[in-house]
Amino acid sequence: ILNKLLAQIFIPKFFSTMSLESSKRVAAYKAVDEWVKPNTAIGIGSGSTVIYAVERLKQRVVNENIKVFCVPTSFQARQLIISNGLILSDLEAHPELDCAIDGADEADANLTLIKGGGGCLLQEKVVASCAQSLIIVADYTKDSTKLGQQYRKGIPIEVVPMAYVPVKRKIEGLFGGSVNLRMSVAKAGPCVTDNGNFLLDWQFPTDADSDWAAVNRDILMIPGVVESGLFVNMVRKAYFGLADGNVTERC
């Protein structure tokens, strides 16, 4: 009985994890095949889906004997580039990028994104702003019509550590909802970003103003805010991998 019970719990979980992973892979492979051109500089995003993009990039670099200069958006991306033997670059050497390939926590009908679930939003936004095309790769769970439908942890906001309480109070006062300081996994202290800042997660009200460009502007006006995880009007194309191996593409 115990074996049967364990199988009923773990086998479906195993297969759903596998299909999520394969949906990330198909999206990432397709994006790399369609957007990466030889002898260009590109941005490398952060997160678990980007791992597959880098995997594909390495295959192409080796098989086609091409050169691609890779600008990371995080410590994780930097490690990925180095460990895959790709050419590590930066915005000093390559301030203009052909494309940036990155993941997302959620994308709405207008391809407004929530990013920063992994804590890397500032460098991701800087790198994306230097790219001619921001290309998003994600699994099907990130594809939504309205922000907040899929990603429930709120909009990440990077703040200067000494300002986290006033910024929290101002956001709650201006827009409602609740703002929480993101804690480290062990809850021993706050999460610290690659840039030495703290992260707030804003659980916005479900009836929040969906003029996200205006909301983003207002958030960025608050002293102490470094950047928000709202990416508005930045995406050129998004690829969402499906469990059956197909990819939904949205521009």
CA distances to 49, 115, 151, 244 from 26, in Å: 10, 21, 21, 10
| Eight-class DSSP state of 163 | G
CA distances to 42, 119, 144 from 157, in Å: 25, 9, 21
3-state DSSP assignment of residue 30: helix
Q: How far apart are CA 196 and CA 159, in angstroms?
A: 9
Footprint on residues 123-142 left by ligand 5RP (CB under 6 A): 124
Task: Say which of 106, 124, 158, 227 is annotated catalytic.
Answer: 124
- Is residue 143 at the binding interface for ligand 5RP, with CB under 6 A as the rule? no
Task: Give the position of tokens 């699994």.
Answer: 139
- φ, ψ (nearest 5 deg) of residue 113: -110, 150
Footprint on residues 146-185 left by ligand 5RP (CB under 6 A): none
Closest CB to ligand 5RP among 119 and 154? 119
CB hemisphere CA count around 19 (13 angstroms):
13
Q: How far apart are CA 194 and CA 185, in angstroms?
A: 16
- Is residue 121 at the binding interface for ligand 5RP, with CB under 6 A as the rule? yes
Closest CB to ligand 5RP among 54 and 68? 54
Cβ 126 to ligand 5RP shortest distance, Å: 13
Closest CB to ligand 5RP among 116 and 154? 116
Closest CB to ligand 5RP among 98 and 102? 102
Q: Is 21 a catalytic residue?
A: no
Footprint on residues 55-114 left by ligand 5RP (CB under 6 A): 102-105
Cβ 195 to ligand 5RP shortest distance, Å: 12
Q: Going residue by residue from 35 to 54, which x/- string records binding to ligand 5RP, judged by CB under 6 A? A: ----------xxxxx-----
- Considering only 119, 148, 154, 241, the residue that binds ligand 5RP (CB under 6 A) is 119
Q: How far apart are CA 45 and CA 104, in angstroms?
A: 9
Position with the least CB separation from ligand 5RP: 47
Q: How far apart are CA 39 and CA 57, in angstroms?
A: 13
What is the contact surface with ligand 5RP in residues (CB under 6 A)? 45-49, 102-105, 115-121, 124
Catalytic residue numbers, as ranges: 124
